[in-house]
Each structure stands twice: as structure tokens, then as C-alpha cells.
Amino acid sequence: MTPIEIADRYPSLFHVTVPDALPLIRQRGLLSAEALLDMYEVKEPTRTELLETRRPQRVDIIHEDYGIASLSDHRPLSLAKLRSCLDDGIDPAQWLRMLNSKVFFWVDRKRADRLVEAAGARSRKRLILTFDTLSILRAHFDTVSICPINSGATIHRAARRGLRTFARPADYSWTAWSTLRGLKKPDRIVEVTIDRAVPGALGYLRATSA
């Protein structure tokens, strides 16, 4: 699978953030939770706790040089449901660490809108950043993964998830990946992720909206 094949199907990628994060994004790009904790020099045992345990609400971290940054909450993720749907010997702490190592993008604007609406109900303003799929994938394809589920949620029927949930698109043809889970209908991409960070992210930006 190539960046062009993915971009033909999904020409835009959508990332949800908070307005206060824009200055840091301009300076450092998009950062995963893990990269943000490294940058803010968060020490143990707090660092591991934030990477491997569920955050029921957003967590603010502070650095004397960089100011305040926020880690998103895990409200859509039930630990009880997560334990029941993990494969390959993965436990919830390992799954959460995996999520915290990635920068996430939706391929569907409607999913981004629903996330913003849910955040608005909690009095937390969000922004949707719309990126050009082809340019961002071409620049970061070695660290791109695609995912057929909402990996950070277990609402309703929790999809099974494991080591192959985040797949490197270069390793598969479209047909091979879309039938990897053996479901009756071929999978579609739900999330695109990039490992750790996206330096210069705003160079791929198409639009910003509330």
C-alpha cells in the first residue's frame, strides 16, 4: 500500500486538539503523549503512571520553559471492557502505552466532529486541524500505521485488538490488509497514526475549525 492509494480514498486527515496547544504545535509539531512527557521532563514514577494507566480526565503538565500542556483523557475507554477484548497476550497497561506513543488522525470528519461535540459537553473547547493526507504520509510513511477501529474506545461492542491492530501499510496490499481480521465485510481505515511526533505538522495543514 502506498501514500497515493491511501490518499485517493481519504484525501484529508483530521486531528482534534485544544486551542491552547497551537503555540507548541507551531514550534514542535504534533507530539504523542509519550513525546510530550519526554519534552516536559516528567520523572518516574509519574511518567509511567501517565503512560500505562487510564486517565479519567485530562492531565495538565508544567515545564518552566514550555508552560502548561494537556494530556487527553481516556473517558471512552473502559478498563473492564478493554481487558476482555485484548489479544496476543497484551494487557491494558501495554495497550495504553501503545496509544500514548502515537499521534492520531481520523480519516472521517464526522468522527472528529463527534469528539468535539463530546468535549464541548464537558466545557472543553476543541479545534479540528485538517491535513493533506498525501503530503503528510509521504513525509512520514516509515512511521505510519493504519487502524480499522477506534483504538481508544470500548463503547458499545468493543472491537478486538492486538499486535496487528496498528499495521504498517507498506507491508500489505489494500486487499490483504482489509481482510486481515477475517470479517464478512472488508475493513476500512478508521485511524491513521504516526509514531511519536510529526515535526513541522502545520506545513501540511489545510484548515482549522472549531
Provide the β-strand partners of residue 71: 59
CA distance 155 to 145: 23
pTM equals: 0.94
Residue 130: in which H helix or E strand, if any?
A: strand 127-132
Read off the pLDDT of residues 196-208 as tens digits, 9 standing for 90 and up.
Answer: 999 999 999 999 9
User: H-type helices in the chain, by residue range?
Assistant: 3-9, 22-28, 33-39, 46-52, 79-85, 92-100, 109-121, 133-140, 174-178
Confidence (pLDDT) at 5: 97
Confidence (pLDDT) at 210: 74
Confidence (pLDDT) at 119: 62
Q: Are 188 and 148 in contact (CB under 8 A)?
A: yes
The residue assigned the cell 468535549 is 119
Could you say which residues of the chain have pLDDT below 70? 119-124
CA distance 127 to 113: 9
Confidence (pLDDT) at 123: 58
Q: How many residues does the chain have?
A: 210
